[in-house]
Amino acid sequence: MCLRRPTLVLLIAALIAGCGEGELGGWLEVPAFDAGASGDAGGSEDPDAAVETTPDAVAPVVDAAVEPPLGDAAPEPPTDAAPEPPPDAAGEPPPPPPPPFATLPWTELGTGVAFKDSQNPAGEAVFIGYAGYQVTDDEARAWVSALYEAALAEYGVRYVYAVRGPRDVQYDARELSNSRMARDFVPRLAGHDAPILIAAHSSGAWVACELFEQLFEGGFDPAGEAQGRVVYYDLDGIGSCLPQAAIDAFRGLYFTHAVLGDGVSLQSASMVAAHERWPDQSALLTYDAAETGCHADARMCLHISLVNTRPHDPAGADRTADYTDFDGRPVNRWYLDATRDLLLP
């Protein structure tokens, strides 16, 4: 609130009367008031310009008549109290985290097939890992466990299956229990639309083809729960065994190989040919193996680099070590990350 000169003169006079001329007169002078200089028409000069103080002044005059505008509430005092977290939709505390994956036992469903329910609260997705030629039960489970802890939990996988490698390169004996696994996971697909992630390394692709025959041609999925939900990663394996009914039903089909300079992985030509056969229904994923330590001409090392990002033998492959030892040589999750948008809800 701005004081005009008549108000200021009256205020100063009141102060002099209350304090005495001896107290204020030594530092405060009141100039003569020019009535013609005030008013709305010519009152543009600074109303405080008439008040001068000496250098020895120790305190300014406080205009007690200035008040905050009406209606402005005093600010609330700050508080250090943290806001209360909102309850969940049901008013219940959040569920406890699942137990560590490594502490959960594997359940054997049949020959060469093991299962874990990870109890992951982040999703209902299924993962099946098919290991390569002659990879043992323990080796296959070690690879799938490392992959779960590195990536699958993040992608909402709950139901996890590990399948050992076939006894012969082209899986002629058909000795593994794909049918029992299918009977176990198909009922788990009801009531949601989470994906079915399947990764098959090397000769494990032959075993995966058997499962696809059972699901999409053999009547193992009578309600069609798997239709449009399978995301299949053929990791330097074989593509020619895939039934067309499966390819038509996939959500995603990725033929994956590794390249290092002019060098390529063992089954690179097969992956390229498979993609060329189904160019509109598949994609070719090319893994850059520059950080693997493999020699450029070491096709087996590049082949196994799709399991272990730093194979133990730069000139070849050490199957047992590469499937089980991921200390300082992380499990390969690159192909999952390359298709991230397809996997997340």
Over range 237-250, report the average pLDDT: 97
Residue 332 CB neighbour total at 10 angstroms = 28
Q: Which long-range contacts (CB under 8 A, 24 or more apart) does 239-242 make?
A: 239/205, 239/270, 239/271, 239/273, 239/274, 239/275, 239/277, 240/270, 240/273, 240/274, 241/205, 241/206, 241/209, 242/209, 242/212, 242/274
Q: How confident is the model at residue 94 (pLDDT cuts 50, 70, 90)?
A: confident
What gap in Å lies between CA 251 and CA 187, rounded to an integer? Answer: 19
pLDDT at 84: 54
Q: How confident is the model at residue 96 (pLDDT cuts 50, 70, 90)?
A: confident
Over range 134-147, report the average pLDDT: 98
pLDDT at 333: 98
Please write the tens of the pLDDT for every residue from 103-121. 999 999 999 999 999 999 9
Check if the beta carbon of residue 142 is closer than 8 Å to that of residue 148.
no
CATH class held by domain 101-343:
alpha beta
Check if the beta carbon of residue 219 is closer than 8 Å to that of residue 253.
no
Domain ranges of the chain: 1-67, 101-343
Can you give the pTM of this predicted structure?
0.74
Please write the tens of the pLDDT for every residue from 309-333. 999 999 999 999 999 999 999 999 9
Tokens 């009531």 belong to which residue?
A: 191
What gap in Å lies between CA 207 and CA 190, rounded to an integer? Answer: 24
Check if the beta carbon of residue 107 is closer than 8 Å to that of residue 114.
yes
Phi, psi of 158 (to 5 degrees): -115, -45
Please write the tens of the pLDDT for every residue from 9-31. 434 444 444 444 444 333 333 33
Whether the predicted pLDDT of 216 surpasses 90: yes
